[in-house]
Amino acid sequence: MSNTESSHYRKVPILTKVNFPKWEIQVISYLTGTADHVRIIEHCWGSNNTLVDPTCPTDTAAQAKWDASEWEALGVIMSTASDLHLEIILRHQTTGDPVYSLWKKICGLHCSADASLHHEA
C-alpha cells in the first residue's frame, strides 16, 4: 500500500449509528478512487447512476489483482464497520461471496434504520 493509499484509508471513519452517510461516502471514495487496484464498487452510468459490483475478470493475471482488491476492500470494511456489524462480517467471511454483497448488507441495514427513524419523526 502506498503512502497516498495509506493516508486516504485512514480518513475512512469508524462506522457508528449516527455517521453512516459520511462513512458511506468515504468508503465509496476509497474503493472507487484508488488507482492501482481493481474497483470493488463502481458507478453504473445508466439512467439512475447506481453503484454496482464490477464483474470478476477471467484473465489469470487480472484475477490475482481482483482477489487482492477484494481482500483490501474487506479490510477497509472490517476495520471500520466491525464495531456495529461484527456478526455480519464474520458470517460473510465464511461464504466466499464478493465484498460487494457485504457492502450492500451493511448499507441496507443503515438505510432501513434511517428510513424508520424518519418515519417515526
pLDDT digits (tens, 9 = 90+) for 36-86: 555 666 666 656 767 777 778 888 888 888 888 888 888 889 999 999 999
C-alpha cell recorded at residue 33: 478512487
User: What is the pTM for the complete model shown?
Assistant: 0.74
- Helix-strand-coil split of the chain, %, nearest 5: 65, 5, 30
Domain span holding position 104: 3-120
Candidates 81, 101, 92, 86; CA nearest to 23 is: 81
Q: Is 47 or 5 the better-scoring residue by pLDDT?
A: 47
Residue ranges of alpha helices (H) inside 2-98 are 3-10, 20-33, 60-95
Residue whose entry in the numeric block shows the C-alpha cell 464498487: 41
